[in-house]
Amino acid sequence: MAKVNPSTKLGVNAELNRSIKKAVIPIAGLGTRFLPLTKVVAKELFPLIDKPILQYIVEEVIASGIEEIIFVNRPEKKIVLNYFKKYLAESPELERILKLRKKNHLLKELKNLEKISKKISFSQVILKRALGDGNAILQAEKLLDKNPCAVLWADDVVESKIPCILQLIKVFEKYKKPIIGLYRIPKESFRFYGMVGVKKIANRIYKIEKIVEKPRTRKEAPSDLAVVGRYIFTQKVFEWLKKAPLNKNQESITSEILAEKIKEGEEILGYEFEGKWLECGNKLAYLKSNLFLSLRHPQFGKELKKFLKNP
């Protein structure tokens, strides 16, 4: 698929992005929290209203002025790339039937999807063995030419006026340091996430002083800022991933490696992005995110609100 500049229509301020040209999205997970459905459907393609989780993330990347997405995938998981293929060109019969049945709204949706493939190029590296998210990200290094890149988890959607990853890119442009996306969460949720201790250096910008992964008590959490699956990584981060030993579970975990490097004095920044984090990594979070977006949907929201008041 040919590369083109996607900033023309989709980017709010994408023209400001000059340094980050590629994004890495690991999609090689087994989706165990969503079994048995993930035996046949990739978790990344679960619908949020009427389009897959992954499409929201891809659209965010395009709107941020990024030119190429590198998926880290499993060899048998071909369905994700197939979803973004030019479908109508290969299925003229479907287009004919939709026109005949006056299903123009469905035809429009398919054509909008095909526009995505014209605005960005897709590459793929294959993960041969599951050794943690750090190892998965590392597989993309050979396609980055030692340039900084965006990294996005495929189960974190962010609703915002300015694309979330573009917000991080702007911070990177100024400081030239690895950036982690941060979001404030309620105390009762601290034990489920990586929580950071920080020193404020500018509006919404922090120097990260520690990362506590899933603190057992509220007191163990150094702040109410949680790590979200949005990062800007430099080549230095890839060197850290490469050299770090596997943990006791024989995995390379990004947050653990970054936490260790912070202890060693390496500088990593955090940015508290503007917008709403819609998590889709477990069943309850996914249902909440679906409900939130559905109630705000211009076509379905009004009727759904009526239904909830009088089911």
For the chain, give the percent of residues with pLDDT over 70: 92
Residues 56/48, Cβ–Cβ less than 8 Å? yes
CA–CA gap between residue 148 and residue 140 (Å, rounded): 12
The helix (run of H) or strand (run of E) holding residue 57 is helix 53-63
Closest to 148 measured CA to CA, from 65, 24, 254: 24
The yes-or-no verdict on residue 186 having pLDDT over 70 is yes
Q: Residue 65, Cβ neighbours under 10 Å: how many?
A: 25
Tell me the pLDDT tens digit for each residue of 90-101: 677 777 888 888
User: What's the first-to-final CA gap in the chain, in angstroms?
Assistant: 47
pLDDT at 8: 35
The yes-or-no verdict on residue 2 having pLDDT over 70 is no
What's the rounded mean pLDDT across residues 138-150?
Answer: 94
The yes-or-no verdict on residue 263 having pLDDT over 90 is yes
Work out the pLDDT band at 190, boundaries 50, 70, 90: very high
Q: What structural domains does the chain harbor?
A: 14-309 (3.90.550.10)
pLDDT at 184: 96
Closest to 132 measured CA to CA, from 31, 214, 29, 35: 29
pLDDT at 87: 59
The yes-or-no verdict on residue 129 having pLDDT over 90 is no
For the chain, give the percent of residues with pLDDT over 90: 61
The yes-or-no verdict on residue 131 having pLDDT over 90 is no
Q: How many residues does the chain have?
A: 311
What's the rounded mean pLDDT across residues 270-284?
Answer: 95
CA–CA gap between residue 290 and residue 278 (Å, rounded): 9
Residues 136/26, Cβ–Cβ less than 8 Å? yes
Tell me the pLDDT tens digit for each residue of 28-37: 888 888 888 8
Most confident option among 75-84, 85-94, 273-282:
273-282
CA–CA gap between residue 285 and residue 282 (Å, rounded): 5
pLDDT at 196: 94
The region of weakest confidence among 18-22, 50-54, 222-226 is 18-22
Work out the pLDDT band at 219, boundaries 50, 70, 90: confident
Q: pTM for this structure?
A: 0.88
Amino acid at 289: S
The separation between CA 292 and the C-alpha centre of its own chain, rounded to angstroms, equals 18
